[in-house]
Amino acid sequence: MKILRNKNLKNHNTLGLNVFAKYYASTTNKAELSALLRNTQYSGLPRMVLGAGSNVLFTSDYDGFVIHPAMSEIEVTSEDDNDMFIRVGAGVVWDDLVKYTVDKGWGGLENLSWIPGCVGAAPVQNIGAYGAEAKDTITDVEYTDITSGEEFMIKNGDCRFGYRDSVFKRELKSRTIITYVSFKLSKVPLINSNYADVSQALLGFDCPTLQNLRETIIDIRKRKLPDPAEVGNVGSFFKNPVVSEGVANSISAANPTLKLFPATTGFCKIPAAWLIEQCGFKGKRYGNVGVHSNQPLVLLAFEGAKGDELIKLSDMIRKSVFEKFNVEIEPEVNIY
Ligand SMILES: Cc1cc2nc3c(=O)[nH]c(=O)nc-3n(C[C@H](O)[C@H](O)[C@H](O)COP(=O)(O)OP(=O)(O)OC[C@H]3O[C@@H](n4cnc5c(N)ncnc54)[C@H](O)[C@@H]3O)c2cc1C
């Protein structure tokens, strides 16, 4: 394992922000990781975990140790008549895993096709798209304590998964390095095409396969979302706010174009994209940053953008949405 000093992270965050880490190391197994964490030479420094950097915003250089878990195995741990059980290294590219499982005919991850990032980050915000979430298939998560180097395993039921949420964003925030994630996948998969865009696109297939579903979702995503290789972004910058039915209905009564989504009993999700668009931000550019012209939930970082500029834009949007609708929208992105 190489420990790098003053490592440029421009190619390690999808916003393309030109920031540096004081120290950086990539570790391919648990023993190496524990040894690094116990190395007293670096013990006084702040530490953070970086996967593929597709959900982080650096406001400045990182004056500490950036650790990239690069465990790369995909192993079958057991199977029964209905299900396959697999254990996957944190460093595996998420979409490589989805492709692998779809190629094998194992169902469960296909709706999460083409989400950028590494497997280790999937439980952190319980990634979700097109009617599926990582929590639906994760069975347990192995992690190393970022300070002590001790190893733990936590079951799905204790991960407190919620909408873009988990214990790793709450009690265990900044305290864990996820090393392996285990999944239960179906040998007799059902096609989940509840989303209008997906069901519409699948109409042309008599009996759609996992592969058809994956390709459909990739097509939709490529059309709707900007490619970070072309313009810096982290996908959705904000979470959709969850508000009481009363609040949602009063906004909806005054705005018949608003489409609400169900949340837990008595609550509704309002699309943050709609709120942002109503405040006039869609397609606007401010210096080196801006709001996407098709999907206002996505903030853009053009060449030369700084994290602070994105924070300023985000604050401006949040204030404006609050003033107009009395609804708070929170960033989904992790800010450092
Ligand atoms: C174009 C685009 C589209 C996107 N679409 C979606 C979508 O549809 N649904 C969705 O949910 N997300 C989406 N995202 C967000 C992002 O892809 C996910 O959040 C992804 O899981 C982040 O993975 P990463 O490896 O890049 O994590 P990073 O950005 O590197 O890290 C994200 C956070 O997780 C922590 N973390 C990362 N790895 C570990 C680990 N091994 N152990 C402990 N903590 C860790 C980091 O410290 C950080 O706080 C999108 C992003 C982009 C750029």
Concerning whether 164 is annotated as a catalytic residue, the answer is yes
Whichever domain contains 96, its CATH number is 3.30.465.10
CB 289 within 8 A of CB 301: yes
The mean pLDDT value of the chain amounts to: 96
- 248-270 per-position pLDDT tens digit: 999 999 998 898 988 888 999 99
Cα 80 to averaged position of ligand 1 atoms, centre (Å): 31
Q: Are residues 250 and 327 in the same domain?
A: yes
Q: Say what the pLDDT of residue 38 is.
A: 92
Distance, CA of 72 to CA of 89 (rounded, Å)? 5
pLDDT of 26 reads 97
pLDDT at 151 over 90: yes
What is the tens place of the pLDDT at every residue in 270-303?
A: 999 999 999 999 999 999 999 999 999 999 999 9
236 in active site? yes
Per-residue pLDDT, averaged over 175-203, amounts to 94
Between CA 131 and CA 128 the distance in angstroms is: 7
Q: Hey, what are 77's tokens?
A: 């741990």
- Domain edge (last residue) among 17, 38, 69: 69
Nearest CA to ligand 1 atom 49: 334
For 325-336, what is each residue's pLDDT tens digit? 999 999 999 999
Percent of the chain predicted with pLDDT > 70 = 100
pLDDT at 231: 97
Residue of 47, 87, 164, 318 marked catalytic: 164
Identified catalytic residue from 236, 309, 314, 318: 236
Which protein residues touch ligand 1 with a CB less than 6 Å away? 14, 48-56, 69, 90, 115-118, 120-122, 124-125, 127-129, 176-178, 225, 228, 233-235, 334
169 lies in the same domain as 112: yes
Q: Tell me, what's the pLDDT at 262? A: 82
Find tokens 């609400």 and name the residue: 260
Q: What is the pLDDT of residue 210?
A: 96
Distance CA 55, CA 235 (A): 8
Instruction: Write the CA distances from 9 to 14, 36, 57, 90, 308, integer angstroms.
Output: 10, 20, 11, 19, 16
* Co-location of 132 and 262 in the same domain: no
For ligand 1, pick from 124, 167, 298 the residue to mutate: most ligand atoms within 8 Å of CB: 124
Q: What is the mean pLDDT of residues 151-159?
A: 98
Which atom of ligand 1 is the closest one to the Cα of 125? 19
Report whether pLDDT(196) > 90: no
Q: 104 with 74: CB under 8 angstroms?
A: no
- How does strand 151-155 pair with strand 56-57? unpaired
Probe target for ligand 1 pocket from 24, 98, 115, with the most ligand atoms within 8 Å of CB? 115
Q: Is 170 tagged catalytic?
A: no
Among 125, 160, 336, 133, residue whose Cα is nearest residue 238:
125
Domain assignment present for residue 272? The answer is yes
Report the domain count for the chain.
Answer: 3
138: three-class secondary structure by DSSP: strand
- What percentage of the chain carries pLDDT values higher than 90? 93
211 and 86 in one domain? yes
Torsion over CA: 26, 29, 31, 33 (sign): positive
121/187 Cα distance (integer angstroms)? 25
> pLDDT at residue 166 above 90?
yes
CATH assignment at residue 267 = 3.90.78.10
> In degrees rounded to 5, what are phi and psi of residue 250?
-70, -35
Residue 175 tokens, joined: 């305290």
Give, in order, the Cα–Cα distances in Å from 126 to each of 134, 259, 329. Answer: 5, 24, 19
- Listed as own residue / partner, the contacts of 93-97 with beta carbons closer than 8 Å and 24 or more positions apart are 93/52, 93/117, 93/118, 93/119, 94/118, 94/119, 94/121, 94/122, 94/127
Per the structure, the complete domain to which residue 47 belongs is given by 3-69
Sign of CA dihedral 161, 162, 167, 168: positive
Express each pLDDT in 204-256 by its tens digit.
888 999 999 999 999 999 999 999 999 999 999 999 999 999 999 999 999 98
Contacts of 215 (CB under 8 A, 6+ apart): none
How far does residue 168's CA lie from ligand 1's centre (Å)?
12
